[in-house]
Amino acid sequence: MRVQFTSFTAVAAVMALTVLAACGDSDLSSDPQSADSAEPASSSQSETSIIESCSSDSEIPSSWNMFGGSSAQDSPEWSSAALSSEAIPDPSSDGHLSPEMSSSIEPTSSSAIVEASPEIVLDKDGFATVADVYRGLAPGEKAVFIIRHSEREDAVTIETELTANGIKMAQNLGAALKSDEEFSYVTSGFVRTNETANNISKGRGEASLPKLITNYDITGNWFLKISADSLAQYGTVLGMRGGSVELMSHWAYEGGYPDALYELGPRAQEFMQSVILKNLPKWKRVTIMVSHDIFVMPLAVFGSQKKVALKYYEDYHWINYIAGLAVIADEQNNLRYIPVKGAESGVIDYLAIYMAEHGGYSR
């Protein structure tokens, strides 16, 4: 893939992308009503929700202040402080990716990074399909698929629901994972993560809605030392046009920013030990864990040893919906990691989308 445009067009595109930061909503912006809720909102589609304790075994807090005061945990969209990370960069856009861009599904106690199995094919961006990884599990292995939620509506609160396209995406992924075995479903407790899990289950043809397990460690703050609300401002102060999105991607690949973010490797390993391996015995052979992009993107970079193509700060690539990382444990609890996609691509290429819509883009 090559982006071909004149220097004038390049400057105009960057200016347009930057100007779009003036439009309103943010997945990291606080919603007072939601932030003060006593417990996380659950999807109206859920029958049951099981709440797991935090990895530290501390008592579950009674308010969403444990999440840095933020009502939502995805990257900013059309925010005042950061470039859109999920919406097509066009002021006339409705904020949702077109189906051809985002939602075509391909039906198809130690911890160490191990290369993907030979039978698992990675695409040019470093992702395998969730279905291929699931079918390729060896006897005795267990897998946790940590994925971003499916496409959601624009207004961002804890209660924000999936779009119709997002529901279809999740159900199509479930259809690609159809089998007789039961899965475990772990979510952040936000409506959009609950709905993603429920629709994957529905797509699999499961007889009843699953008992969703709410885990507070996957809301999106795991890698943050500051509140989620502060990320975009932090990036803007550093002169980053992309705010928190650019900040998170630069940190994941290049490190730094120790006052705002933990070191990726040790913090990711801590998550594997204190959350994945701790809970794996009580989860089924396959677990679908549905979280948010600022949590899932760093894990995909970590698990791929920085080989996955999510360098937003260089090329405007960001983690796609229902993409993430498969964590596979053998009987000795050795872990191997494979970046996975539930849609046609694991990457949203915002510059390519912008140039395709405004001219100057060719493959």
Range of lowest pLDDT (48-52, 205-209, 303-307): 48-52
Q: Tell me how crowded residue 135 is: count the other CB atoms within 10 A of its CB.
A: 14
DSSP-assigned states of every residue in 272-293: IIIIIIHHGGGS-SEEEEEE-H
241: its two tokens: 């046009």
- Of residues 137 and 23, more confidence is placed in 137
77: its two tokens: 């969209």
Which amino acid would we find at residue 2?
R
What pLDDT digit, counting tens, does each position of 132-173 carry?
999 999 999 999 999 999 999 987 889 999 999 999 999 999
pLDDT at 110 over 50: no
pLDDT at 326 over 50: yes
Burial class (CB in 10 A: 0-12, 13-18, 19+), 90: middle
- Of residues 109 and 215, more confidence is placed in 215
pLDDT at 75 over 60: no
- Of residues 324 and 19, more confidence is placed in 324
pLDDT at 66 over 70: no
CA dist., res. 82 & res. 31, Å (int): 18
- Of residues 89 and 188, more confidence is placed in 188
271: its two tokens: 């998550």
The answer to whether 36 and 63 are in contact (CB under 8 A) is: yes
Mean of pLDDT values over 26-32: 35
Of 137, 115, 135, give the one whose Cα is nearest residue 126.
Answer: 115
pLDDT at 316 over 50: yes
CA dist., res. 266 & res. 302, Å (int): 10
pLDDT at 33 over 50: no
Mean of pLDDT values over 60-73: 36
Q: Is 151 helix (H, G, I), strand (E, B) or coil?
A: coil
CA dist., res. 144 & res. 279, Å (int): 11
Measure CA of the first residue to CA of the last residue in the chain; give whole Å: 5
pLDDT value of residue 274: 97
Of 130, 125, 85, give the one whose Cα is nearest residue 343.
Answer: 130
Mean of pLDDT values over 309-329: 96
pLDDT value of residue 48: 52
CA dist., res. 197 & res. 181, Å (int): 16
- Give the residue carrying structure tokens 């694991």: 346
pLDDT value of residue 94: 36
pLDDT value of residue 120: 85
* Residue 352 pLDDT grade (very low, low, confident, very high; cuts 50, 70, 90): confident
pLDDT at 53 over 60: no
Which amino acid would we find at residue 87?
A
Backbone angles phi, psi at 291, to 5 degrees: -130, -145
Mean of pLDDT values over 89-106: 40
What pLDDT digit, counting tens, does each position of 231-287 carry?
988 998 999 988 899 999 999 999 999 999 999 999 999 999 999 999 999 999 999
What pLDDT digit, counting tens, does each position of 76-85 carry?
442 322 233 3
Mean of pLDDT values over 104-112: 40
